[in-house]
Amino acid sequence: MTKPKGGTPSIISTSQGEQMAFLERSDEFIRAVAASFDAYLEIDRNGKICEFSRRAEQLLLRDRSEVVGREFSVLAPNEDLDLISNNGSESFANFEWQHLIEMGPRGPISLTKEYVLVDSQNKELLCEVVSFVVPGEPSSRVAIWIRDISDIRRNEEALAASFLHDPLTNLPSRTMFTYQLSYALVRHQDIPGRVAVLLCDVDRFKGLNDSLGHDAGDEALVALAQRLKSIVRPKDVVARFGGDEFLILCEGPLAGATATHLAKRISEILSQPMAVKGQDVYASVSIGIATSSTNASDAAALISNADSAMYLAKRRGGNRYAMFNDSLRTEVVTRTSLENSLHRALERDELVVYFQPVVNLNSLKVVGVEALVRWNHPDQGLMAPDSFIPTAEETGLIVPIGAWVLNCACQTMESWNQGSQGSNHDEIPCEPFAYTPGSGGLVEVNLSGRQIGDPDIVATVAEAINKSSMRPDQLVLEITESTLMDDPEAALSVLEDLKTLGVKLAVDDFGTGFSSLAYLHKFPIDVLKVDKSFVMEMGNRDEDTAIVRAVIDLGHTLGLEIVAEGVETSNQMEILQSLGCDMAQGYLFSHPLPASSLLVLENS
Ligand code: C2E
Ligand code: MG
Ligand code: MG
């Protein structure tokens, strides 16, 4: 058995076995009692006090000499002190110690009670009293520990209060809201539609925080909370869900209609600017509304439905509201099932990487390949990335998936470097440019916004390169223009870090993301990939040819190489050649193919 060593051990929290060991009056035990912040006293089987620690003297305001050898009832309340049970019904002096002894081993092993200790100045301390029988020869004793738990309880209560209230806006917290919503749902459980939840999310709040600072962001949230409070009915609940999200609960026969009316009112009041740090700030919110139904009868389900509707409002451009309905329900179910099976796709090896050659437009030789992921879905067959990459992005699964694609691409490139070639030559579709670049070519890998935001991205890329032992400058990382423009400053810092690894960087889908030229110049990029939407219209629409020409000229001025995406016809290829475009990829040359279906041709 272990005995506590030094410090201020608390017997109250030790196991029963250890308590017994303690009570053999070892020196260690005596020292522990003397040092403990808990008061200790002992009563013999005749009710006489036989131990009374120094802490007991302080807590119970009695001298040891006054009480040792006397009846337990000597601790009866006096004008200095009373110790009464928490509900006020029992005084400590009436504590039924005899009961414990009489029951002996058959009875309760220990008793724990709370008492309030009130001194002559009416100061109250909350005490936890733990008592237990110490069996012994010739007679048993009762040991009692008294611990002042006032501070612990105060902290617990403060914690509980902060748990239930948001300290910034002073609104009920998400926990509190969930309680209130649960009760509302119980009250109206027989009648669907009598409870409605609005989930409001501030549009582009991050931009506001970044441009005006976090203090201003906080101020804006407080102002917004006040505006929301000012328009709801007294019985509606407004709560802070967290971050820049607020929840409103409406109850009653017309809950759905009230919620819609409120959503419109919210847009109206937010059309007026809020004064934040002396500036006029305009904020808008996207609102999702869900009403109780047989399908959403608990708080979590209703909030989750409101959340789905809020995302729909965001997808439609923000600053609007959307109602949760059956079609949204179907979408959520489909997405959830996609999410679940995507989780398993990696584990079950269902993802595959296809490669699409990139061709030099001068030599018409393959100079690289772009790695493009596909999902070999057990029921739905080969799925294109557009059908699952957005979900992978939303769930964050793109981070492990992206790392897997990266590793696979680097390993494949390394095997080409080593001179191994695709094995299924007979199965090659009849495409004139289905070649890998041979040793020394490039492999291009797409990185999503979530991956750029992943703190481990640089380490992940470094590891993939090291594991494959390919040259770092054979790897081109593609980031779409819209990802770069989402948070240019943050992207710039990640790209600079990636660049130190010696890799090349490309801006993908260029022309679709409203780049600011000032930023393009700042980014450490090597390649611009002109989006296929412009390339495919070249020859049909003059303005698209003009855009492609402008991008090629701009890129060359900045010292970048230009790749045209989506080249499907010889005419498009010839126009690109005449415009001085460096490289191209597209169905004219080859569809994306599995590594095993690409031929290795010597790039002589
Ligand atoms: P992207 O990076 O712009 O890739 C080019 C897309 O254009 C590919 O679509 C390719 O198959 C398609 N394409 C190539 N040539 C032609 C053509 O001549 N005509 C037409 N109409 N299309 C052509 P895919 O493979 O469906 O990929 C779509 C997008 O999915 C990619 O666009 C990329 O943004 C994303 N993606 C693919 N793999 C990954 C990945 O591993 N990670 C991430 N984050 N995104 C990926
Ligand atoms: Mg790409
Ligand atoms: Mg692209």
Residue in 446, 486, 529 to alter for ligand 1 test, most ligand atoms within 8 A of Cβ: 446
Q: Which fold has domain 165-324?
A: Alpha-Beta Plaits (3.30.70)
Of all ligands present, the nearest one to the C-alpha of 356 is 1
Q: Is the pLDDT at 38 greater than 50, yes or no?
A: yes
Confidence of residue 448 (pLDDT cuts 50, 70, 90): very high
Q: How many CA atoms lie within 13 A of 319 on its CB side?
A: 9
The pLDDT assigned to 24 comes to 53
Structure tokens at 90: 């029992």
So where are the chain's domains?
11-155, 165-324, 342-597
DSSP state of 61: T
Mean local confidence (pLDDT), 216-227: 94
CA 530 from centre of chain:
35
Q: Do the strands 274-276 and 504-510 form a parallel or antiparallel pair, or are they unpaired?
A: unpaired
Structure tokens at 389: 């990459």
109's CB contacts (< 8 A; 6+ apart) are 16, 132, 133
Contact 292, 272 (CB under 8 A): no
- Residue 355 has φ and ψ, to the nearest 5°, of -125, 135
Which residue's CA is the nearest one to ligand 1's atom 41? 373
User: How remote is the CA of residue 372 from the centroid of ligand 1, in Å?
Assistant: 6
Q: How many CA atoms lie within 13 A of 561 on its CB side?
A: 16
d(CA 39, CA 26): 18
pTM of the predicted structure, to 2 decimals: 0.62
d(CA 292, CA 178): 14
Which residue's CA is the nearest one to ligand 1's atom 4? 372
Q: How many CA atoms lie within 13 A of 187 on its CB side?
A: 12
Q: Do the strands 124-134 and 110-119 form a parallel or antiparallel pair, or are they unpaired?
A: antiparallel
Q: Which fold has domain 11-155?
A: Beta-Lactamase (3.30.450)
Which CATH architecture describes the domain 342-597? Answer: Alpha-Beta Barrel (3.20)
Q: Is the peptide bond before 138 cis (omega within 30 degrees of 0)?
A: yes
- Torsion from C-alpha of 594, 599, 602, 604, nearest 10 degrees: -90
Which residue's CA is the nearest one to ligand 1's atom 42? 446
Q: Is the pLDDT at 229 greater than 50, yes or no?
A: yes
Ligand 1, residues at Cβ distance < 6 Å = 356, 372-373, 384-386, 389, 398, 402, 405, 446, 448, 478, 508-509, 532, 565-568, 585-587, 592
User: How remote is the CA of residue 346 from the centroid of ligand 3, in Å?
Assistant: 24
Nearest atom in ligand 1 to 385's CA: 30
Residue in 372, 410, 451 to alter for ligand 1 test, most ligand atoms within 8 A of Cβ: 372
Q: Which range has the top average pLDDT, 292-306, 352-366, 433-447?
A: 352-366
User: How remote is the CA of residue 543 from the centroid of ligand 2, in Å?
Assistant: 24
First to last CA, the chain: 80
Confidence of residue 136 (pLDDT cuts 50, 70, 90): low
Which residue's CA is the nearest one to ligand 1's atom 8? 372
Pick from 408, 388, 295: nearest CA to 343: 388
Of all ligands present, the nearest one to the C-alpha of 566 is 1
